């Protein structure tokens, strides 16, 4: 059997993962999966059902039972409801780290991510644990990083209703949670290329990754 062509892009919030992963996938003609949107979708579904985001068993059941579709244009549909905007909002963003720390949720989403690749024969996946846990044998693993103030400035530009200090504090809180959680914390996977995007444009980042792919 031929190995699926998987490109894993991991890194903290605001490192440029989503933009880079989307553009890279387009440029090599494969599909792209934003796995952070999947964790956000679970948080959205749990909150909608009135389940506490810290309740491991309750949230795991939500993850296992929900229907989730993420279309090519980024539309996220959870149990038939368009959640595209709400999953990026402050309420879901506050709840998502707790949800992503639940082992049962991770197990369910990792299995959906592997199924997504199996159906397509490959793709670009971005998240926190793609190169370390989901696809440790990925053809190429990239760890995108950037200085904290640069990441906060990028996020503040995206979410126009929050000021820089609020965004920076939220990023620091999520970094801490993602890096220090017990299950599948954010870390540089074995064999991953560490790419600091602080002083690079998107085009330059894509160029570096394309070069690594061709090497």
Q: How far is the CB of 54 from ligand DC (least distance, A)?
A: 14
Q: Which of 33, 45, 102, 129 binds ligand DC (CB under 6 A)?
A: 129
d(CA 211, CA 87): 34
Rounded CA-CA distance 202/55 in Å is 39
Size of residue set near ligand DC by CB under 6 A: 13
Pick 10 or 206: Cβ nearer ligand DC: 10
Tell me the CA distances in angstroms from 25 to 8, 96, 122, 171, one per residue in order: 11, 26, 10, 26
Site membership for ligand DC, residue 128 (CB under 6 A): yes
Separation of alpha carbons 63 and 70, rounded Å: 15
Is residue 102 classed as helix, strand or coil in its secondary structure? coil
Here's the x/- map for ligand DC, 84-123, by CB under 6 A: it reads as ------------xx--x-----------------------
Q: Which is nearer to ligand DC, 60 or 97 (CB)?
A: 97
Residue 39 binds to ligand DC (criterion: CB under 6 A): yes
Part of the chain binding ligand DC (CB under 6 A), chosen from 36-44, 77-85, 138-146, 197-205: 36-44
Which of residues 23 and 40 has its CB atom nearest to ligand DC in the complex?
40
Binding residues among 158-187 for ligand DC as defined by CB under 6 A = 174, 178
Q: Using alpha carbons, select from 198, 185, 101 the residue that is nearest to residue 146.
A: 198
Tell me the two tokens of residue 146: 């950037």
Taking the mean position of all CA atoms in its chain, how far away is CA 171? Answer: 14
CB 45 within 8 A of CB 62: yes
Nearer of residues 113 and 122 to ligand DC, judged by Cβ: 113
Positions that interact with ligand DC (CB under 6 A): 13, 35-36, 39-40, 96-97, 100, 127-129, 174, 178
């Amino acid at each position: 059997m031929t190995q699926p062509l998987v490109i894993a892009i991991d890194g903290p919030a605001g490192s440029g993962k989503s933009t880079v992963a989307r553009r890279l996938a387009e440029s090599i003609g494969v599909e792209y999966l934003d796995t952070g949107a999947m964790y956000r979708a679970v948080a959205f579904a749990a909150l909608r059902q009135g389940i506490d985001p810290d309740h491991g068993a309750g949230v795991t059941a939500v993850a296992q039972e929900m229907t989730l579709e993420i279309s090519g244009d980024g539309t996220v549909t959870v149990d038939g409801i368009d959640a595209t905007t709400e999953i990026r909002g402050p309420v879901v963003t506050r709840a998502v780290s707790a949800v992503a720390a639940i082992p049962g949720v991770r197990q369910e989403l990792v299995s959906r991510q592997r199924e997504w690749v199996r159906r397509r024969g490959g793709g670009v996946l971005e998240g926190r644990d793609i190169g370390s846990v989901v696809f440790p044998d990925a053809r190429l693993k990239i760890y995108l990083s950037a200085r904290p103030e640069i990441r906060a400035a990028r996020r503040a530009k995206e979410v126009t209703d929050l000021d820089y200090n609020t965004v920076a504090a939220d990023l620091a809180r999520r970094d801490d949670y993602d890096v220090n959680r017990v299950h599948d914390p954010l870390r540089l996977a074995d064999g991953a290329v560490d790419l600091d995007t602080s002083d690079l444009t998107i085009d330059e980042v894509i160029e570096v990754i394309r070069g690594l792919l061709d090497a």
